[in-house]
Amino acid sequence: MPPDHFSASTAAPEQGWATLKRFLPYLWPKDAPMLRLRVVIAMIMVLAAKGAVLLMPFAYKAVVDRMAPGFEPGVMIALALVAAYAGARFGGVLFDNLRNAIFELVGQDAARRLSVEVFGQLHRLSLRYHLERRTGALTKIVERGTKSIDTMLYFLLFNIGPTIFELTAVCLIFFFKFGIELVVATLLAIAAYTVFTQKMTEWRAKMRREMVESDTRASARAVDSLLNYETVKYFSAERRETENYGRAVAAYATAATRNETSLALLNVGQALITNLMMAGAMGYSVYGWSRGWFSPGDVVFVNTILMQLFRPLDLLGMVYREIRQGLIDMEAMFRLIDTPAEVVDRPGAPALSVQGGMVRFDDVHFAYDPERPILKGIDLRIPAGGTLAVVGPSGAGKSTLARILYRFYDISSGRVLIDDQDIAGVTQDSLRRAIGIVPQDTVLFNDTIGYNIGYGREGATQTEIEAAARGASIHEFILSLPQGYATKVGERGLKLSGGEKQRVAIARTLLKNPAILILDEATSALDSRTEADIQSTLRNVEQGRTTIVIAHRLSTIVHADEIVVLEAGQIVERGTHADLMARDGLYAEMWMRQASESEEREAA
The pLDDT, as a whole number, for residue 418 is 92
Contact by Cβ (8 Å): 26, 110:
yes
If one compares 8 and 594, the residue with the highest pLDDT of the two is 594
What would the 3-class secondary structure string for 265-299 be? HHHHHHHHHHHHHHHHHHHHHHHHHHCCCCCHHHH
The pLDDT, as a whole number, for residue 350 is 92
Contact by Cβ (8 Å): 336, 122:
yes
* φ, ψ (nearest 5 deg) of residue 574: -155, 150
**Considering the chain, what is the average pLDDT of its residues?**
79
Q: Cβ atoms within 10 A of the Cβ of 10, count?
A: 13
The pLDDT, as a whole number, for residue 421 is 92
pLDDT of residue 226 exceeding 90: no
To the nearest whole percent, how much of the chain has pLDDT over 70?
A: 84
The pLDDT, as a whole number, for residue 5 is 38
- The 10s digit of each residue's pLDDT in 504-557 is 888 888 888 888 988 887 666 566 666 666 677 677 777 778 999 988 878 788
Tell how far CA 143 is from the center of its chain. 6
- Euclidean distance between CA atoms 555 and 581, whole angstroms: 13
- The 10s digit of each residue's pLDDT in 42-82 is 888 888 877 777 777 776 677 666 665 555 555 655 566 56
Q: Is the dihedral of CA 368, 369, 370, 375 positive or negative?
A: negative
pLDDT of residue 112 exceeding 50: yes
- DSSP string for 242-272: HHHHHHHHHHHHHHHHHHHHHHHHHHHHHHH
The pLDDT, as a whole number, for residue 426 is 92
Q: Cβ atoms within 10 A of the Cβ of 5, count?
A: 22
Contact by Cβ (8 Å): 456, 508:
yes
Tell me the C-alpha to C-alpha distance, in Å, between residue 196 and each of 279, 310, 325, 461: 19, 15, 19, 66
- The 10s digit of each residue's pLDDT in 429-487 is 899 889 888 887 777 888 889 998 998 888 889 999 998 888 887 888 899 988 999 98
- Euclidean distance between CA atoms 44 and 51, whole angstroms: 10
The pLDDT, as a whole number, for residue 9 is 37
- The 10s digit of each residue's pLDDT in 173-209 is 878 877 788 788 888 888 888 888 878 877 777 777 7
Q: Which helix or strand (DSSP H or E) is residue 391 part of?
A: strand 387-391
pLDDT of residue 319 exceeding 80: no
What would the 3-class secondary structure string for 108-124 be? HHHHHHHHHHHHHHHHH
- The 10s digit of each residue's pLDDT in 262-281 is 878 888 888 788 778 777 77
Q: Band of the pLDDT at 362, cuts 50, 70, 90?
A: very high
The pLDDT, as a whole number, for residue 334 is 81
To the nearest whole percent, how much of the chain has pLDDT over 90?
A: 7
- The 10s digit of each residue's pLDDT in 325-344 is 777 777 777 887 777 777 88
For residues 14-52, b (16+ Cβ closer than 10 Å) or e, as one string?
A: eebeebbeebeebbebeeeeebeebbeebbebbebbbbb
pLDDT of residue 375 exceeding 50: yes
* φ, ψ (nearest 5 deg) of residue 494: -65, -20
What one-letter code names the amino acid at 9? S
> Average pLDDT in the 592-603 region?
71
Contact by Cβ (8 Å): 452, 445:
yes
- Euclidean distance between CA atoms 305 and 53, whole angstroms: 9
